[in-house]
Each structure stands twice: as C-alpha cells, then as structure tokens.
Amino acid sequence: MSIKTLEAEIMTVLQSVPGVAVYDHEPKSFPFLPAITLNYNQFFQSRNRFKKREITYSWELRLYVGLGSDAATAADTTKDLVNQYINAFRAAPDLNGIAQRAEITAGSLEVVTDVQNPYYLHLFSLEVIEEEA
C-alpha cells in the first residue's frame, strides 16, 4: 500500500468530524479555525512471529483551535474535538479495510500565545500498521 493511499483514507476519517477544516499539509495560514493538518513523519518495518513483514507508518496530526475572546470555551472545544477524533479512528480501526490497524497512540496540548491570534495546538501521534500478504 502506498503512503498516499493510506493518507487518503486518513483524510476521510479526519473529514468525518464536522466543523473542522482538514488539510493534508501544513499551510502558512488558516482562513478558518478549528483546523487539523496531516503530516507524515516516518515508517519502520519488522517481522512478526509468523515471519511476515509489518510496516508501521507514523503521522502527526495538528489540531488548531483559536482562543478568540473566550479561552474557556476554546478549551472545551479542543477537548471535545480531541474526543471526536479519538472516536473517529476507533470507528475505522483498519481505515476501511486497507490497513491492519490505525490508532491515535498519544496526544499533547500546547497553548500558543505569542502570536497575533492565539490558539490551542493539540498534537496527535497516529500509527498505521500494514502487514504484507
């Protein structure tokens, strides 16, 4: 399976959460927040106990939520969206049949305030495992 094919299915899952702009790259600016971006990181491969090759691909998802005039509401929105994305990948654990497993494995939150329009930035680690036939 190609990385681009896997990304197309990941984008489908990301787009299933309403009200969020979805990008398959990191744009210079966002005309609309909240937004989430998909950034390919790396892969590694190994052999399982049956001597089949497994490839684990990794992506970083970046969720941007503007602070606006009400930081408490923005914090709640961020938490709600984090849960929605975790649940979206749980609902498509094999990316609609093209992978062995797709799972958000970690996440962390940052607050970016040293810019003109402050925002919450939630980083997700996404792993997709593919096994050779």
Query: Tens digit of pLDDT for each residue in 48-71?
Result: 777 788 899 999 999 999 998 888
pLDDT grade, residue 109 (50/70/90)?
very high
Average the pLDDT over 8-28 and give the result. 97
* pLDDT > 90? residue 89: yes
**Structure confidence at residue 58 (pLDDT):** 97
Average the pLDDT over 82-91 and give the result. 97
* pLDDT > 90? residue 46: no
The dihedral region occupied by 11, where left means phi > 0, alpha psi between -120 and 50, and beta the remainder, is alpha
| Domain 3-131: assigned CATH number | 3.30.70.1700
Query: Rounded to an integer, what distance in angstroms lies between the CA atom of residue 130 and that of residue 133?
Result: 9
In this structure, which amino acid lies at residue 5? T
**Structure confidence at residue 128 (pLDDT):** 96
> What is the percentage of the chain residues whose pLDDT exceeds 70?
99
pLDDT grade, residue 133 (50/70/90)?
low
Domain coordinates of the chain in residue numbers? 3-131
Closest CA to 71 of 133, 113, 28: 113
Average the pLDDT over 35-54 and give the result. 88
What does each C-alpha distance from 104 to 24, 34, 60, 99, 113 come to in angstroms? 17, 19, 9, 14, 26
Copy the structure tokens of residue 73.
Answer: 């509401």
Cβ-proximal residues to 102 (8 Å cutoff; 6+ apart), any chain: 9, 10, 13, 89, 92, 93, 94, 95, 126, 127, 128, 129
Q: Which residue has the higher pLDDT, 99 or 53?
A: 99
Question: Do residues 103 and 126 lie in contact, with contact meaning Cβ atoms separated by under 8 Å?
Answer: yes
**pTM, whole model, 2 decimals?**
0.92
